[in-house]
Structure 1
């Protein structure tokens, strides 16, 4: 028992260390490459995957600790992230992009679920994670939705890989594509803000575009992305209600239970606290420093959680089972990109 406890705490400490170092590496990436090439959570996932595959026996001894990290740290990270979101953001400068954002959310989930399930034979959970990661905010959306739908570790890893690959392509190419197409500042803001997944990638693409147009004050893409990220609150609630309703049908909750009892048995409490934190931030409960601390804490917790996930993923599974999820990520990404481009051209007067 003592040995198992020691292994558990060693695993937890290792996940925390990997998560912290992975997140801190983004600062170095910004200095060396003038952008974040790979986010902290994704890097933490890759590092522990490499460790797990080089030392196969380590995952067995660390199982209890890594499972704790992948679940509890994820919950806490989601709650902390809620404190950085604000319902008021929807009324900010990115509000003009809201119709496109809402359409892309519906499109992304529809394509991911239909193509994933009917064409590629990907699991429903993976399809939901890919759809959410593509239409909202990459790894943060995947982490949040994974706890709601109770996704397996490999489903999370495959979705993260799919999102990271195409997000990187978008972040590097969109500033130059927009320039080649003669996009205005607002048109690029709509494209980058609605069709690049991770916030750090949007920031990197915006910085590149700032250099191209010679306007260091341009911040339109991040304003649009802020509205899009806030949609995570509503998307998380919708999927929570969907899976709560399923619980009655699958026997998790009794048919005779009252609606309140069904919710009590199946509703993830971390989502409630996630919404509460967003509400507190909306009403100005947190200072700018507090919001910054919560944001960083959320990133560290997500990275540590993904480090725990990485200890359970084998490379052979990625190459044998991960090809279809990655293909699904590419298809969904292309559909969202095409939707954003079409909106920009069809409603050029509205976009500006």
Structure 2
């Protein structure tokens, strides 16, 4: 009993020291500054095609590999990479209008479910064939199938992914999704698709919400509306997918006689914000600021914390094969979802 009390006091003392340490807050501020720099730099030519999230990650990775890791700021950086990340995912729930998905996206949910299954299964099979890193490949498969970097950020704590894998995965998804969105926009005039069909195709196959909007918007308002509706269905399916993975990890941990995986409570927050944003009368300007400004900015700051753990020397050995698997899987997903439009 005394030993347990001593351990509890030690944990409390450590937590108190962290909150009283100025370096802790400087570490958080450090990630926020880089996130702000990435967001601002994303308005520049070339960088405006890849977005603020990827730009912030790139700045963090470059800082880490040029100036080394700022050890004095470690506790604050880790807080951003872990706690701030979960909070950003909770705020991401405001993007999901559950009522619209359930009442207008019934058939689209079938397409969305097939997209997720195809993306994850194909990525993992190709990763196994290429002998790629399976953990990073799983993150990329989920990001491809569900909702890009946000899905990777949400799933990473559940599958106990390394910070470096999470940052690399988010960066790859953002870059690859941008490439595919540009390609979709370029080939649209040559496809025998109506604007509505093109919007649905974009929504059930492209990686991020921003990528869907970028590809579908030139096709008109109907295309954009259907694309975003289809994409929201995939975001909605993040909830059951996360619970399935959580149960799988718990069973896996029991089989390996390890500590059981914790329940992803932040997903309860994600569901709660989705319900609040859907059914409660929140002013549209406030809802817009939370879901399109504050949430993405905090997610960028969290990704900065993760990006500061990335070693460029590891990219060639660990990231190229998963990237190849994910790239081919994305092509297969695009082709598969295109042909399902006709059924």
Q: TM-score, normalised by structure 2?
A: 0.85
- The question of whether the paired residues in 2 share the 8 Å contact of 1:107 and 1:336 is answered with yes
Counterpart position of 1:244: 250
Counterpart position of 2:29: 13
Per-residue CA deviations over 1:313-346 (Å, capped at 9, x if unaligned) read: 12111133211121122022112111111212x3
Work out whether 1:310 is the aligned partner of 2:316: no
2: CA distance between counterparts of 1:318 and 1:92? 44
Deviation at 1:83, TM superposition (A): 3.1
Work out whether 1:329 is the aligned partner of 2:326: yes
Counterpart position of 1:221: 227
Counterpart position of 2:272: 276
Provide the alpha-carbon RMSD of the alignment: 2.6
User: Is the alpha carbon distance of 1:179 and 1:232 closer, same or farther for their aligned partners in structure 2, counting shifts above 3 Å?
Assistant: same
Partner of 1:83: helix, strand, or coil? helix
2: CA distance between counterparts of 1:282 and 1:233? 16
Counterpart position of 1:259: none
The count of aligned residue pairs is 325
Question: Pick from 74, 80, 83: which aligns with 1:72?
Answer: 83
Deviation at 1:94, TM superposition (A): 4.1
2: CA distance between counterparts of 1:240 and 1:330? 26
2: CA distance between counterparts of 1:242 and 1:47? 35
User: Is the alpha carbon distance of 1:182 and 1:48 closer, same or farther for their aligned partners in structure 2, counting shifts above 3 Å?
Assistant: same
Q: TM-score, normalised by structure 1?
A: 0.83
Deviation at 1:24, TM superposition (A): 4.5
Q: Report 1 or 2 for greater relative contact order, CA contacts < 8 Å, sequence distance ≥ 6.
A: 1
Q: Mean Cα displacement is larger for which, 287-296 or 73-82?
A: 287-296
- The question of whether the paired residues in 2 share the 8 Å contact of 1:83 and 1:291 is answered with yes
Deviation at 1:98, TM superposition (A): 2.1
Work out whether 1:341 is the aligned partner of 2:338: yes
1: CA distance between counterparts of 2:54 and 2:290? 19
2: CA distance between counterparts of 1:51 and 1:6? 22
Deviation at 1:172, TM superposition (A): 0.6
Question: Pick from 86, 99, 103: which aligns with 2:114?
Answer: 103
- The question of whether the paired residues in 2 share the 8 Å contact of 1:112 and 1:332 is answered with yes
Counterparts of 1:1-352 in structure 2, within 5 Å, are 5-26=21-42, 28=43, 36-56=48-68, 58-116=69-127, 118-210=128-220, 219-252=225-258, 266-284=262-280, 286-295=282-291, 296-344=293-341, 346-347=342-343
- The question of whether the paired residues in 2 share the 8 Å contact of 1:15 and 1:66 is answered with yes
2: CA distance between counterparts of 1:93 and 1:274? 21
Per-residue CA deviations over 1:97-155 (Å, capped at 9, x if unaligned) read: 22211111111111122322x22333333122111110111111111111221210221
Deviation at 1:6, TM superposition (A): 4.1
- Gapped regions of structure 2 (runs ≥ 5): 1-16
Counterpart position of 1:258: none
- Gapped regions of structure 1 (runs ≥ 5): 254-261, 348-352
Q: Mean Cα displacement is larger for which, 147-156 or 7-16?
A: 7-16
Per-residue CA deviations over 1:44-92 (Å, capped at 9, x if unaligned) read: 1111111111112x34333322212100110111111123323223235
